[in-house]
Amino acid sequence: MRRIRLVHPWISVEDRMEIDKVLSTPYLSNGPKVREFEEMMAEYIGVHHAVAVSNGTVGLHLALLALDVTNGFEVITTPFTFIATANAITYTGARPVFVDIDPITFNIDTNKIVSAITDLTRAIMPVHIFGLPCDMNSILKISKDIHIIEDACEAIGATYDGRKVGSIGDIGVFGFYPNKQIVAGEGGMIVTDSEKLANRCRFLRIHGRDPSSIHPVYPVVGYNYKLSDIHAALGCSNLRRIGSILAARRSLAELYNDRLSLRFHTLSLDRSWFSYVILLPSPNVEEVVMKLAEKGIESANYFPAIHLQECYRKYGYMEGDFPITENISRRALALPFHVFLTEDDINYVCDTLLMEVEHDKV
């Protein structure tokens, strides 16, 4: 049976060659290729410092710690994102405070942030969902003395008001999981213009070891959040061709929009394309996912509402607290999206989807 995957990372011949080069050296972890990746990312994003880590989640964790977000504080964020955003906040002992989203952009509704701020608010963590930049100017006006951590894990290459996302707040974080625009197998990157914040992240990622000391000295308890040179090599190679990667993904999105925009709520093209998500007319995502799977098409619900997950109900969140998020999360469907899709594949996905949706109406 025909099978169309939801994601399929683009690994080129050049990517494999870069990995082979690392394997011929004695540096397999936290070596020169990691530093090269950091320098490339800092230049691409337009910041002074970049710190490579093992994945995007731990990047968010270290960013929070670098800004002294600890037990007892609150961090404002969105309930419509991958759960790692909220998890990173809870790792510090802080409490995630959710704010509902805009029904068009799916990003955090900046008009609702002010009412969520308390004396305990230490940071705001906007998520550039599906590669679309948040309204950062409004967030900057709101924040004042509150830190801003950009969760840009889905948005590398996206720009806002002439600046790359990730460079606008105090600190930004990117991820390189295989479903992202730039892949490294795993991996993440913290970016900032602050030398102090960058240095704090650097020693926290290596068990809290003071990098300025010749002998092992550990002034604080840190973590093993290093990135391997193997992953960094793949990241460097991907970053060199980010222009063609983003262009190819945009072309796929245009093909989808041509077929589906008249029938579904689809995403605007003005973004760095992380995934292709539509809103179904009815809240029956699980049923549609199963029906598409029967036809060999992988799909997924992007994203279930975080505040309704059992592990976050302990904060007192209930159904109805964030109605826009709840409505969209029950209808949001991610379709296959990767550069190996052909126009014929996309037509097959669209034809099958339309057939299933129309059948449900009969």
Asked if the peptide bond before residue 303 counts as cis, ω within 30 degrees of 0, the response is: yes
Beta strands 95-98 and 74-77 are parallel
* Contact between 4 and 336 (Cβ < 8 Å): yes
Tell whether the model's pLDDT for residue 340 goes beyond 80.
yes
The tens digit of pLDDT for each residue in 42-64 reads 999 999 999 999 999 999 999 99
What is the spatial distance between Cα 108 and Cα 98, in angstroms, rounded to a whole number? Answer: 9
The tens digit of pLDDT for each residue in 125-175 reads 999 999 999 999 999 999 788 999 999 999 999 999 999 999 999 999 999
Two structure tokens written together for 41: 């990312």
The Cβ of residue 34 has, within 10 Å, a number of other Cβ atoms equal to 25
What is the spatial distance between Cα 201 and Cα 122, in angstroms, rounded to a whole number? Answer: 18
Two structure tokens written together for 354: 């339309």
Tell whether the model's pLDDT for residue 361 goes beyond 70.
no
Mean pLDDT, all residues of the chain: 96
Tell whether the model's pLDDT for residue 213 goes beyond 90.
no
Quick one: what percent of the chain has pLDDT higher than 90? 93
Average the pLDDT over 321-335 and give the result. Answer: 98
The pLDDT confidence band at residue 23, using thresholds 50, 70 and 90, is: very high
Question: How big is the chain by its Cα radius of gyration, in Å?
Answer: 21
Burial zone of 132 (CB within 10 Å; 0-12 exposed, 13-18 middle, 19+ buried): buried
Tell whether the model's pLDDT for residue 214 goes beyond 90.
no
From the candidate CATH numbers 1.20.1250.20, 3.30.2130.10, 3.40.640.10, 1.10.340.30, the one assigned to the domain spanning 13-240: 3.40.640.10
In the prediction, which pLDDT does 211 show? 76
From the candidate CATH numbers 3.90.1150.10, 1.10.3720.10, 3.40.50.10300, 1.20.1090.10, the one assigned to the domain spanning 242-361: 3.90.1150.10
Two structure tokens written together for 138: 């409004």
Q: How far is CA 343 from the centre of its chain?
A: 27
Between the alpha carbon of residue 184 and those of residues 81, 331, 342, 345, the distances in Å are 21, 30, 24, 26
Tell whether the model's pLDDT for residue 341 goes beyond 50.
yes
The tens digit of pLDDT for each residue in 87-120 reads 999 999 999 999 999 999 999 999 999 999 999 9
What is the spatial distance between Cα 80 and Cα 29, in angstroms, rounded to a whole number? Answer: 34
Beta strands 147-151 and 332-335 are unpaired
The pLDDT confidence band at residue 212, using thresholds 50, 70 and 90, is: confident
The pLDDT confidence band at residue 362, using thresholds 50, 70 and 90, is: very low
In the prediction, which pLDDT does 94 show? 98
* Contact between 148 and 139 (Cβ < 8 Å): yes
What is the spatial distance between Cα 256 and Cα 235, in angstroms, rounded to a whole number? Answer: 28
What is the spatial distance between Cα 348 and Cα 207, in angstroms, rounded to a whole number? Answer: 50
What is the spatial distance between Cα 292 and Cα 45, in angstroms, rounded to a whole number? Answer: 38
Is the fold of 13-240 the same as that of 242-361?
A: no
Chain position carrying tokens 């900032």: 192
Q: Where are the domains of the chain?
A: 13-240, 242-361
Picking from 79, 2, 4, the residue whose alpha carbon sits closest to that of residue 300 is 4
The tens digit of pLDDT for each residue in 239-279 reads 999 999 999 999 999 999 999 999 999 999 999 999 999 99
Chain position carrying tokens 């460097």: 236
Stated pTM of the model: 0.96
The pLDDT confidence band at residue 359, using thresholds 50, 70 and 90, is: low
DSSP string, 176-210: --TTSSS--SSBEEEEES-HHHHHHHHHHTBTT--
Chain position carrying tokens 């011929």: 24
The tens digit of pLDDT for each residue in 122-133 reads 999 999 999 999
- CA angle, residues 188, 189, 191, in degrees to nearest 5: 160
The Cβ of residue 203 has, within 10 Å, a number of other Cβ atoms equal to 19
Quick one: what percent of the chain has pLDDT higher than 70? 99
Average the pLDDT over 320-337 and give the result. Answer: 98
